[in-house]
Amino acid sequence: MADDPVAMAMRQAAELCRTGKAAKAVRLLRPVAAQAPTDVDAWCALSAAYLADNQPKKALEAAQHAVVLGSGKEGPHRLASCALTQLGRSAEAVVAADCAIRADPFEWRSHIALAEALIGSGAVERVQHSEDDAKRALIAAHRASELAPTESRPFEVLSEIASRAHRWDVAEQALLTALQLNPRNEHLRDELAKVQRGEPDPEPVVRDAEPVLWDLLWRLVVLQGIGSLALVIGGLPRPGSGYAVFGLVLLLVLGAVVWRFVSKVPAAVRPGLVRLARSRKLLLLASVLFAFGTLLLVLWTLILAVWPGVLQTAVVACVVTVLAGAVVLAGRRLARWRSRT
């Protein structure tokens, strides 16, 4: 229906996303989805806008809401898979992509979502670490190229996977096709030159992982900041040696949060996350400040166990953590601005 306000808003949002104004698309679609809580397409459009605005968590929430509505469409599952891939939850992303393909085996974007989920979060995982996943990813990308022979994206993904598996002939042919469909893309020309030389990217970077790292740092900073402040207040005026137990509990909780995150990230992806953190100055600064605050908490806990009454180190740890929080807030805003430009 041409006069349907929901459909009109969705078209406007799609155009805003295409022109790099995803934040405006999100602001446009939020009230639309709220006013039409049972409209699957509206929630899918909102999820897609969140993805374009580099907000995978909110994109996942919107996609899951659409899934709950039970329309049987592939879109909610596909968008959930894309969001999960960006969040580094690749195993769940594979399941969601499989659901999307079962709902509509002829939607090429679902096969691309499966291929990207199978190689983990972003572009860093070397698929030869898992031959089964490599084969499934290659098959999924090839199927997408068959379903959408006039779209360049399936051939780009097919080339990316094939080059990591050292299938240079497949990668070169896919890139040549992608360039025919998108001749103005200089990045594709650079990739074609690398493939023709048989040179895969030696330093892959996780493209969509920066928001995930900022979210992790924010959770850690908030937890450490509140925890260290509580330790300072609770330890006044002079903590005893037994009070060190509370410092140990805080450190264990912080360690559990980090371990939970690391355990969900494929081993081959982790070096790329480290490289990404080093390449972003604010991200590196926030990480260093947080680590310094954690080190001070460790020292305070150890010192307090043998030298009761020490509180100054915990105070300094709290101040350093607050500084880390300020850097995290600035970095998250900068990352969001960068994604929109």
Asked, as a colleague might, if the bond just before 237 is cis with ω within 30 of 0, I would say yes
What confidence tens digit (pLDDT) does each residue in 120-177 have?
644 334 433 455 677 888 899 989 999 999 999 999 898 888 877 677 788 889 889 9
For residue 208, the model assigns a pLDDT of 58
Q: How far is CA 286 from CA 220, 321, 335, in A?
A: 11, 9, 13
- Contact call for residues 57 and 86 (beta carbons, < 8 A): no
Taking alpha carbons only, the member of 25, 37, 38, 116 closest to residue 78 is 116
Q: Measured between alpha carbons, how far is 46 from 25 in angstroms, rounded to an integer?
A: 8
Domains contained in the chain, CATH given: 5-197 (1.25.40.10), 210-340 (no CATH)
**Residue 123: predicted pLDDT:** 37
Q: CA separation (Å) from 139 to 94, 112, 116, 135?
A: 14, 10, 12, 6
Q: DSSP H helical segments within the chain, as ranges? A: 5-18, 22-35, 40-52, 56-68, 75-86, 90-103, 108-118, 131-147, 153-164, 168-181, 186-197, 210-235, 244-264, 270-279, 281-306, 312-340
| Weakly modelled stretches of the chain, pLDDT under 70 | 1-3, 120-132, 165, 198-208, 266-269, 272, 338-341
What is the pLDDT at residue 54?
85
Which pLDDT score is estimated for 63? 95
User: How far apart are the C-alpha atoms of 148 and 96, rounded to whole Å?
Assistant: 21
pLDDT at 129: 44
Query: Could you tell me the end-to-end alpha-carbon distance of the chain, in angstroms, rounded to an integer?
Result: 33
For residue 339, the model assigns a pLDDT of: 57
What is the pLDDT at residue 131? 57
**pLDDT at position 18:** 87
The reported pLDDT for the residue numbered 264 is 73
